[in-house]
Amino acid sequence: MLIMNILVVIVLSAISATAIANPLLGLPPMPIPADNLQNPEKIALGKKLFHDARFSTTRSVSCASCHRPEKAFTDGLEKAIGINGAIGVRNTPTLLNAGFFEQLFLDGREPSLEKQALKPILNRIEHGFSDHKSIIKIITTDSDYLTQFKKVFDVDKATISTVHMEKAIASYERTLISGNSSFDQYYFGRDKSQLSPSAARGLRVFRRKGNCANCH
């Protein structure tokens, strides 16, 4: 447990929104869709949506409920817990570096953060909604959201759609970046002082004798 906590601290210490423009050591540039360019206002809107528990039928579960920064944007549980304490069928995957993924969810069924963004909200166990209309109503009855959506997407109450929500949430999620860790500095930066002798031995086993790196 101590080792896991240390690793989480190392990972979280390297997260930075500015890494999109200036890639962290060990990472390529973040791919940004041409139809969903990043800007601070859109990222802020996405973060607000991500943390808003009203987007669950019990008003008790937000995206952030299962993707917690202190647990490397997972929940640390064997299986995710949704509305009314319902137990999901899988554990919560990390969102760190998810902007680089070409397949989202543990079964790889969605190709982008935009396509993935609202699926948990429409899951009967996770957030509990069954249709887009109920989700949009939360937006269109909130004056602050209306102001933000107008500023970011130039849409009004009649034209706001779930596509705009997906783009905002995805923009925020692309800022959840981990790089320049002690491992990155050791492996990519060739700074051998970044890992202890025992950690370096463990890495050799991980990459060679253990063949762990074949899957990880």
pLDDT of residue 18: 56
- Average pLDDT value for residue range 176-190: 95
pLDDT of residue 3: 46
- Tokens, residue 110: 């969605």
Domain for residue 21, yes or no?
no
Q: Tell me the C-alpha distance between 45 and 210, whole Å.
A: 44
- Average pLDDT value for residue range 143-172: 98
Q: How many domains does the chain have?
A: 2
DSSP single-letter state for residue 59: S
DSSP single-letter state for residue 41: H
pLDDT band at 19 (very low <50, low <70, confident <90, very high): low
Q: Tell me the C-alpha distance between 191 and 138, whole Å.
A: 50
Report if pTM > 0.85. yes
Is the CA virtual torsion 107, 14, 180, 72 positive or negative?
negative
With vertex at residue 171, the alpha carbon angle to CA 111 and CA 131, rounded to the nearest 5 degrees, is: 65
- Average pLDDT value for residue range 26-54: 98
Q: Are residues 127 and 200 in the same domain?
A: no
Q: Are residues 67 and 144 in the same domain?
A: yes
DSSP single-letter state for residue 52: -
Domain for residue 142, yes or no?
yes
Domain that holds residue 203: 182-214
Assess contact for 179 and 28: CB atoms under 8 A. no
Q: Are residues 117 and 210 in the same domain?
A: no
Q: Are residues 205 and 132 in the same domain?
A: no
Q: Are residues 197 and 143 in the same domain?
A: no
Report whether pLDDT(179) > 90.
Answer: yes
Domain for residue 22, yes or no?
no
Q: Are residues 169 and 188 in the same domain?
A: no
pLDDT of residue 2: 38
How far is C-alpha 178 from the chain's CA centre?
11
Q: Tell me the C-alpha distance between 200 and 192, whole Å.
A: 9
pLDDT band at 106 (very low <50, low <70, confident <90, very high): confident
Q: Give residue for tokens 């304490």.
A: 85
Q: Are residues 168 and 203 in the same domain?
A: no
Report whether pLDDT(21) > 90.
Answer: no
How high does pLDDT run on average in the chain?
92
Q: Tell me the C-alpha distance between 54 and 100, whole Å.
A: 29
Domain for residue 20, yes or no?
no
pLDDT of residue 22: 79
pLDDT of residue 7: 46
Q: Are residues 164 and 138 in the same domain?
A: yes
Do you know the residue count of the chain?
Answer: 216
- The phi, psi pair for 104, rounded to 5°, reads -110, 160
Q: Are residues 56 and 162 in the same domain?
A: yes
Q: CATH number for the domain including 49?
A: 1.10.760.10
Q: Are residues 99 and 50 in the same domain?
A: yes
Domain for residue 8, yes or no?
no
